[in-house]
């Protein structure tokens, strides 16, 4: 599943959804690449990366370093907003984001 975070501020329900997606991923780990969650921070969503990493919820408890989820941010959005990306966040171009979107059957914009 691809989760695209586009909002500056994420809500408790957003966090609950992300936790549920990651919990579902762990419970059904079949080694299938489609089963690995991908979280992309784009637009104003690049501001939310630090909130997500510091909020008390399952994602934090899993630890960004050990989570199977892949974390990305659109490089142009990070640069244009002057945001420092998290250490374990890969910067991607808009073209790479489009390709990544095509690799995932299910995706949700938050």
50 has pLDDT over 50: yes
Q: What is the CATH number of domain 2-109?
A: 3.40.1260.10
- Decide: helix, strand or coil at residue 40: strand
Domain ranges of the chain: 2-109
User: Does residue 4 contact residue 34 with C-beta atoms inside 8 Å?
Assistant: no
Q: For residues 110 and 4, is the Cβ–Cβ distance under 8 A?
A: yes
Residue 70 has pLDDT above 70, yes or no: yes
Is 38:2 a contact under the CB 8 Å cutoff? yes
- Assign 3-state DSSP to the chain and report helix, strand, coil percentages, each to 5: 45, 15, 35
Give the mean pLDDT of 35-49: 88
What is the spatial distance between Cα 107 and Cα 62, in angstroms, rounded to a whole number?
A: 21
Q: What is the pLDDT confidence band of residue 61, given thresholds at 50, 70 and 90?
A: very low
| Top-confidence residue, 28 or 75 | 75
Mean pLDDT estimate for the chain: 80
This prediction has a pTM of 0.79
Q: Which of 93, 44, 86, 47 lies closest to 69, judged by CA? A: 86
pLDDT of residue 51: 78
Mean pLDDT of 89-95: 94
User: What does the pLDDT read at residue 78?
Assistant: 95
Q: Pick left, alpha or beta for residue 36 (phi over 0 → left; psi -120 to 50 → alpha; otherwise beta).
A: beta
């Amino acid at each position: 599943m691809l989760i695209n975070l586009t909002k500056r501020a994420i809500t408790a329900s957003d966090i609950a959804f992300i936790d549920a997606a990651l919990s579902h991923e762990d419970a059904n780990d079949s080694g299938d690449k489609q089963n690995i969650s991908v979280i992309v921070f784009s637009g104003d969503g690049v501001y939310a990366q630090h909130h997500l990493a510091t909020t008390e919820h399952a994602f934090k408890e899993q630890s960004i370093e050990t989570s199977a989820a892949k974390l990305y941010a659109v490089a142009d959005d990070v640069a244009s907003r002057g945001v420092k990306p998290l250490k374990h966040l890969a910067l991607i171009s808009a073209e790479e984001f489009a390709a990544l979107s095509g690799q995932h059957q299910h995706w949700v914009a938050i």
